[in-house]
Amino acid sequence: MSRIRWKQALRPSLNATPQDYTYEVYDNVDFRIPRTCALPQTDEQIVELPEPRSFRSLNRAGLMLAAVGLQAKEAVAEYVAQDPFSVGLYCAMQDGPDDYKSAKQMAYTPPEEFARQYKFLRSSKQFLREVGSVQASFLSIFLGTMGPLYGFTHSRWAGLHALEQAECDLHNGVVKAAIVGSAFSLEDPLLTMRIRRSIPDSSSLCEGAAALVLTASEEYTNWRSAMPEGGECFYGTAHDLVLLATGGEYYEQNLERSGAVVESGDGDLQCVASERSGD
């Protein structure tokens, strides 16, 4: 039923050397996550936002989602122009990180100073950064889409859930185009630790983001049979979409067996030393 009209991914260079990622969130605790690969860009370097003031409301994964999703604008432009309600956004994102920095600073605050210190340290935008659906909402606003907006939060299968819901809505005529996106960052230490423990020790846990634009076709797509196998790199919640957007001949064969039709070539932004290459 689905035709992959466009696809794009953002990930560290495949030649990047895995490193230990250290979090300074607890006193007297060496909190390290082994074998990780982060994008070389700082948050400010990841994407140029259409509305700069929205930066404070986006976490790192939200910025990565915007980096790939904004590039779908041309692919969905004709649908948005005809009917913005005909384009839906299906996002696989876990909630953003808690404010560990403020919590650490407040750990030994006297009770009588708690309210004042809390108000001083905690940004009013922090709540927005913690809610995964808010991150997707900004991308929808930036692209001008007004169709359904779904957020899926399963740590492993959120991408599959997003693809299946998009497939259902395309099949039922709810939308004419579906943007399916996901992003994963190393920003949250507890989430990163949990995912690190769920993958083989030999795999590298990497930041990554991907977006696909799907349109209806005559064939039904069984996305469960299209899910790619794991590899040396694992991209957290975004893993399946990153591999679908960047995979080579092996994944193209999986897509053909599932019934998906691929119209565009791979879009793979591998980040090396603060620059993008391999478009």
Any idea what the CATH number is for the domain that residue 78 is in?
3.40.47.10
What torsion do the CA atoms of 245, 250, 252, 254 make, to the nearest 10 degrees? -100
- Position of tokens 């995979």? 247
Burial label, 15 (beta-carbon count in 10 A; 0-12, 13-18, 19+): exposed
Separation between Cα atoms, residue 244 and residue 156, nearest integer Å: 15
26, two tokens = 């607890």
Residue 105 belongs to some domain of the structure: no
Q: If we measure between CA atoms, which residue out of 35, 237, 270, 223 comes closest to residue 151?
A: 237
Q: Would the pLDDT of 241 be above 90?
A: yes
Residue 113 belongs to some domain of the structure: no
Residue 35 belongs to some domain of the structure: yes
More confident residue, 261 or 146: 146
Residue 139 belongs to some domain of the structure: yes
Mean pLDDT of 171-191: 94
Separation between Cα atoms, residue 8 and residue 12, nearest integer Å: 14
Residue 88 belongs to some domain of the structure: yes
Number of structural domains the chain divides into: 1
Note the maximum CA span of the chain. Answer: 66
Q: Which domain holds residue 26?
A: 2-96+131-277
Residue 253 belongs to some domain of the structure: yes
Model confidence pLDDT, tens digit, residues 36-64: 999 999 999 999 999 999 998 999 999 99
Model confidence pLDDT, tens digit, residues 6-17: 999 999 999 999
Strand, helix or coil for residue 147:
coil
Q: Would the pLDDT of 201 be above 80?
A: yes
Per DSSP, 27 falls in state T
pTM of the model: 0.84
